[in-house]
Structures are given as C-alpha cells and as structure tokens.
Amino acid sequence: MMLLNIAWRNIWRNRRRSIIVLSSIAIGLVAIILNEGLSIGMVTQIFDNQIGTHVSFLQIHHTGFNDNKIVQNSMEDPTLVDHALRESPDVIAYSPRVLSFGLLSSAQTSAGGYIVGIDPAKERHVTTIHNSVVDGKYLEGRHREILIGKKLAEKLDIGVGDKLVGMASTIHGSVGSALFRVAGVFETVSSEFDRSFVYVTIEDLQEMLEMEKRISEFAVITRDRNTVNLTKAELAERLGPQFEVLTYADLLPLMLAQMDIYKESMYIVYVIVSLAMIFGIINTMLMSVFERIQEFGVLTAIGMSSTSLFSMVLLEALLLGMVGTALGLLLGVGIHMPLSATGINLSKFSEGLTSFGVGTIIYPVLDTGSLLRPLIIIPAVAVLGAIYPAMKAARFEPMVAMRYV
C-alpha cells in the first residue's frame, strides 16, 4: 500500500507530462472504440439485412437443393414440412417459396434474375420486402402481378403498370413463360439484391414452371435466433434425410467468416496502438527516472530494496495505464451511446454502401469484448513499456546516484 501511495504521488509530480500521457492513452482508446463499433456495426447490419430481406433464420429444402437450385430438386410433398412447422413450438412464422433463375424481358431489353414465388400474406411475417416498396404496392395475390427491384426496373426501363415477360426452365425441361404486370417496385439496402430478384405469387410461378403443388423451400422465423440450432435439430430429426434444414449460419458462411475477420482485425489495431503506447511510456518513464536519480539513491541508501524500487516504477506505469483506460472508456462509451441510437449518416457514400448491402446510416455496435479487452491490454502494455526504465532505476548504485548531477 505504501508503494502504491508513493507511485500515485510520483505521477503528479510532473502534472503536464502525466496529463499528456493520459490524454494520449484516452484518445487512442476512444479511436479504437469508435473504429471497432463502426466496423462491427457495419458487418452486423449487412448480416441482419440479408436475414431480414430474404434468408430468414431457417430454410428447409429437399436434400441437395441448396447445392443445385433447380426446379427438379423441389419438394414433391411439402405438406410434411408444413405440418412439422405448424406443430413446432419454436416456429413463429414461415413462408413457402418457389425459386427459379430466369430471363426477364421488357419492351426495351432483357436481364437475368431470380424469380421468387411467394404467398404474399405469409412472406410479410418472414421478410421485410413488403416494407421496402417505394413505388406502387406490395403483392396482393392477384393473377400475374410482379414486384420488381428498383435497380432491375431501371435496367429494364419499366415502372408500375408496365408489362414484363418472365421465362425459365420448367420441371420437364421445356421453357415456360408468362406475362406479368408490375404491381410495385421495391428498394432494399442492397443494390445487388435489387437488380437480381423479382417476386410473383407462388401459384403463378408454379403454373409457369409446370410444378403443380411442388415447393422449393420454406423460409422460417423462430422465437430466438440464438437457439436456432436446437430448432434445426428438432426439425431435421422429424423430417428425415429427404429434407435439408439449414440455419442462417449454414446459408451465409462467408458472411459469418467476414464478421469474425472484422473482430479479429481489431487485434491488429490494438498491436499498432500498443506499439505507439510502449514507446511513449518508455520515453516518459525514462525521463521520470533520470530526473529522480538522486532520489532513488537516497531511497536505496535508507533501505529500500531494488525489487521495491523496480515495483514502484512499474506501479506508476500501471496507474497511468489504468487511469488512461478509464478515461478513454468513459469518453468512448459516452460518444458511442448517442451514435448507436441515432446512427452515423453516410448518405454521401450511398452507392458504395448499398453495393455491400448496408444502409446509408450505420449504427455502431459494441459487444462485451470491446469493453473488456482494453481493461486488460492497455494497463498490461503500460507495464510492459515501463520494464526497461524500472530496470534502470533498480540498478543505480546508491553512492553514485546520490552524487549524480
């Protein structure tokens, strides 16, 4: 306790220098917190947007469909899946779909895209497409109506009320086609999605592809996304090997890997900041040691051991690191909290952001690790940087030190 009191007093013997060191630690930590919050927030939004726009929590297909998405791999008897989902206590909503890649042609030009047949009422409870309509209206179940992405509508040069021909391979291998009228145009946060997907009623697409009542997939929302693996296991056991039950983690492995990479990359930032901090601490503590050589000589002469002297210098660095970390966390979290509520408006970069599938407003996110890591890393780095100055202080000979000028 005595060493701690002495170390604390020694820090404030040169207030200006200590304040500069504390400020540099705090500002560096604020930069880390804001950078980490923005990075995690961005990848989390991309991930959540993909789940909310199309992927959902769970998808159920005929075995092999996810690897080869052709109409021949659709479910012959979807009623088995429908019954299993109805009876599962963890399932709160699900939507049957028919999927096919096809050719979409307007009077002006053509483009390829995914044609998704849905039950409009059920899809409302699974995805956010109905909230993304910017022109016209969402599907109402009428015959041969189509909902098209804004980017694709611009490419095809069509709008609400215009006609559009869809063509795709039928289940028998021939070419099926149908004439649709645009009911609405949607715009999501992903420009790539908007130029690739259109929605029609499930009955229209089944008729066009000669599928009768076959279904390509069921998109499922469960009560808790964190326990989706338990629901997957339950449904897989009930449905058997003829169906594949896939979670969002199975469907978006690259997205999850990207999130992990972003989180791991923060350690690189910590290494860079730590290196800068180490040199700063070494410089500061060396200056402090050389200013107090005579004092160290007196302390050694009256009985303080080299170990105690060494520990005292390390304690000074530790206290600087802890106080700087506390200030940085308070300031960083104080700035983060309002930003996480209001978001950071990056509308000037909207084209680039939508190409990555993230909105123009980024909401920073901090997890527990974001707050715990600096509490350990920065004080440890401060102590590491003080080892050399502390060794210098402990090695002074008492008589030489007291005569030092």
pLDDT at 49: 83
Do 280 and 145 share a structural domain? Answer: no
Q: Give CA–CA dist 341/363, Å, rounded.
A: 7
pLDDT at 357: 57
Q: Give CA–CA dist 105/336, Å, rounded.
A: 48
Ranges of H-type helices in 292-305: 293-301
The model's pLDDT over 43-99, given as tens digits with 9 standing for 90+, comes to 888 888 888 888 899 999 999 999 998 899 999 889 999 999 999 999 999 999 999
Looking at the predicted structure, is the pLDDT value of residue 154 above 70?
A: yes
Among 217-226, 247-256, 266-275, 352-361, where is mean pLDDT lowest?
352-361
Do 266 and 151 share a structural domain? Answer: no
Work out the average pLDDT over 381-394: 82
Band of the pLDDT at 351, cuts 50, 70, 90?
low
Q: 11 in a domain, yes or no?
A: yes
Do 80 and 224 share a structural domain? Answer: yes
Do 204 and 149 share a structural domain? Answer: yes
For residue 344, give the amino acid letter: I
Q: 200 in a domain, yes or no?
A: yes
pLDDT at 283: 81
Looking at the predicted structure, is the pLDDT value of residue 349 above 70?
A: no
Looking at the predicted structure, is the pLDDT value of residue 306 above 90?
A: no
pLDDT at 405: 46
Q: Give CA–CA dist 320/229, Å, rounded.
A: 46
Q: 56 in a domain, yes or no?
A: no
Most confidently predicted of 203-207, 255-259, 361-365, 380-384? 203-207
Do 284 and 218 share a structural domain? Answer: no
Give the residue from 240, 269, 304 where a domain finishes: 240
For residue 260, give the amino acid letter: D
What letters, b where the CB count within 10 A reaches 16 and e where it falls short, cover 54-93?
Answer: bbbbbbbbbeebeeebebebbbeebebbbebbeebebbeb
DSSP structure class, residue 138: -
**Percent residues over pLDDT 90 in the chain:** 41
Q: 55 in a domain, yes or no?
A: no
Do 192 and 93 share a structural domain? Answer: yes
Phi-psi region of 29 (alpha: psi -120 to 50; beta: other; left: phi over 0): alpha
Q: Which two tokens stand for residue 62?
A: 């005929």
Among 110-124, 245-259, 314-328, 386-400, where is mean pLDDT lowest?
386-400
User: What are the distances in angstroms from CA 379 to CA 25, 37, 49, 332?
Assistant: 10, 21, 38, 17
Q: Cα angle vertex 143, ends 140, 144, to 5°?
A: 100
What letters, b where the CB count within 10 A reaches 16 and e where it falls short, cover 307-339?
Answer: eebbbbbbbbbbbbbbbbbbbbbeebbeebeeb
Work out the average pLDDT over 246-273: 81
- What is the biggest distance separating any 2 CA atoms in the chain, rounded to whole angstroms? 100
Do 303 and 396 share a structural domain? Answer: yes
Do 148 and 273 share a structural domain? Answer: no
Work out the average pLDDT over 110-115: 93
Do 69 and 46 share a structural domain? Answer: no
Between 262 and 359, residue with greater pLDDT: 262
pLDDT at 215: 95
| Class of residue 388 by CB neighbours under 10 A (exposed 0-12, middle 13-18, buried 19+) | middle
Looking at the predicted structure, is the pLDDT value of residue 396 above 90?
A: no
Q: 385 in a domain, yes or no?
A: yes
pLDDT at 397: 67
Q: β-pairing, 243-247 with 217-222?
A: unpaired
Give the residue from 240, 267, 292 where a domain finishes: 240
Do 385 and 316 share a structural domain? Answer: yes
Do 231 and 82 share a structural domain? Answer: yes
Domain of residue 30, residue span:
2-50+255-402
Looking at the predicted structure, is the pLDDT value of residue 234 above 90?
A: yes
| Class of residue 279 by CB neighbours under 10 A (exposed 0-12, middle 13-18, buried 19+) | exposed
Give the chain's domain count.
2
Work out the average pLDDT over 183-203: 92
**Percent residues over pLDDT 70 in the chain:** 93
Q: 236 in a domain, yes or no?
A: yes
CB atoms within 10 A of CB 16: 7
CB atoms within 10 A of CB 214: 19
Do 200 and 292 share a structural domain? Answer: no
Q: 250 in a domain, yes or no?
A: no
Closest to 42 (Cα-Cα) out of 373, 371, 354: 354
Q: 166 in a domain, yes or no?
A: yes
Among 109-118, 225-234, 280-289, where is mean pLDDT lowest?
280-289
Give the residue from 208, 240, 272 where a domain finishes: 240
